[in-house]
Amino acid sequence: MNLQLKAPKLTVVEKKAIQITGSKSESNRLLILQQQYPNLKIKNLSNSDDTVHLQHALNSGTDVLDIGHAGTAMRFLTAYLANQEGREVTLTGSARMKERPIGILVDALRYLGAQIDYLEKEGYPPLRIKGKKLQGGEVTMDAGVSSQYLSALLLIGAQMEHGLQLRLAGKLTSRPYLEMTTSLLKEVGIGTRFEENHIHIEPKKTILNVKITVESDWSSAGYWYSWVALQSPGYAMQLSSYKKTSLQGDSKLVDIYEKLGVATSFENDHILLEKRQDFQHPQKLEFDLTQQPDQAQTIFATCIGLGIDLKLTGLHTLRIKETDRIEAMAVEGARFRESEIKTSPDTIEIHFLSKSHFKDKVSIDTYKDHRMALAFAPLCMKTTLIIRDADVVTKSYGDYWEDMKAVKVNITEI
């Protein structure tokens, strides 16, 4: 599905209120825990494709599980199924999923006694997993890898006979996602300690009745921060349901977008975003997104819209996402206005040439990556925008196009 987006040049609109579903990251962690601890009840689950795929896989009795593009589901299920005694399963996914490495997690699980075989390329899905009761104990993993590998182990740690002691070697990437995992474990009632480079998970076979309400997704809020940043001063929008003390690392958006002209205020269970009247347009900004890599495309697109030179660092995990996101940003970002874009293995920079104007019509590819469509869509405020394969947004934010229509964006299928 290809969509054409065009936003009206409004200076004043009524304040819009948008309800965003639960965090995909929280939901997927809680689903793995719920499968191990049925006394756990969950409210406000994400309706993202990733969460739907994970729910389907967890409830399936078949011996072949295809999780499509859902990277989180691949990592979490690999660990979960390895600890399910007596069950033998083939875990596979899309063509792109078969290009995304899983070897670091498989090596750690094998060290703990898991029986996992590669069915095609060594180090990559699909996997054949013969579940067995893992004894647990101590294992060391590279702290610089995707936090999903580490969280996958932590989520099954308490079900192992001797619990889990996870030692992290090197510089830690995406610490907020690990802290989210350990915080949820504590909330469920599992003894957990996170001290420097060591995480200890105590064994626990059962829990008391627990009910957890998932906070709405901060990653999805990012697209609306970008939208508000591109509006006239005084424009306001309300998003529900958010907490000032969030487990999600992407709540750092509050501070990041303050520098891009968006003020945030917390009111009961929602946030109010407002384009600041006193915003002083900076010439250049630089952000280290080591802890918030999923916001790279969103911030990049915002700065294209505002014409602010930008340098983003800490992006090394983006090379192995749904696509090579650094390369995708460079290619698609160059389509909007005259600029110079430089990349390295973990950075991207954009510099706008003098008197750089937006092109009248821009068409972008999404590379089967939901965040390419979601992040670049607000640029319809600046030009007529065509997004190819726009339905990729269902991976994390299936209501996005309807919500865009609610803020007066004209959307037509072409």
Name the residues annotated as catalytic. 294
Query: How many Cα neighbours within 13 Å face the side chain of 363?
Result: 5
Q: Tell me, what amino acid is at 338? A: E
Percent helix, strand and coil across the chain, each rounded to 5? 35, 25, 40
Torsion of CA 169, 175, 177, 183, to 10 degrees: 100
CA distance 47 to 260: 29
Three-state helix/strand/coil letters over 159-217: CCCCCEEEEEECCCCCHHHHHHHHHHHHHHCCCEEEECCEEEECCCCCCCCEEEECCEC
- Please choose, from the candidates 117, 168, 126, 164, the residue with its C-alpha nearest in 3D space to the C-alpha of residue 145: 168
Structural tokens at position 43: 């409210």
Three-state helix/strand/coil letters over 379-391: HHHCCEEEECCHH
CA distance 413 to 409: 13
What's the Cα-to-Cα distance from 251 to each of 47, 83, 227, rounded to whole Å?
20, 33, 17
Alpha-helical regions (H) of 37-145: 49-59, 71-82, 103-111
Q: Tell me, what amino acid is at 357? A: H
- Please choose, from the candidates 138, 145, 201, the residue with its C-alpha nearest in 3D space to the C-alpha of residue 172: 145
Instruction: Provide the 10 A C-beta neighbour count for residue 244.
Output: 10
CA distance 6 to 131: 51
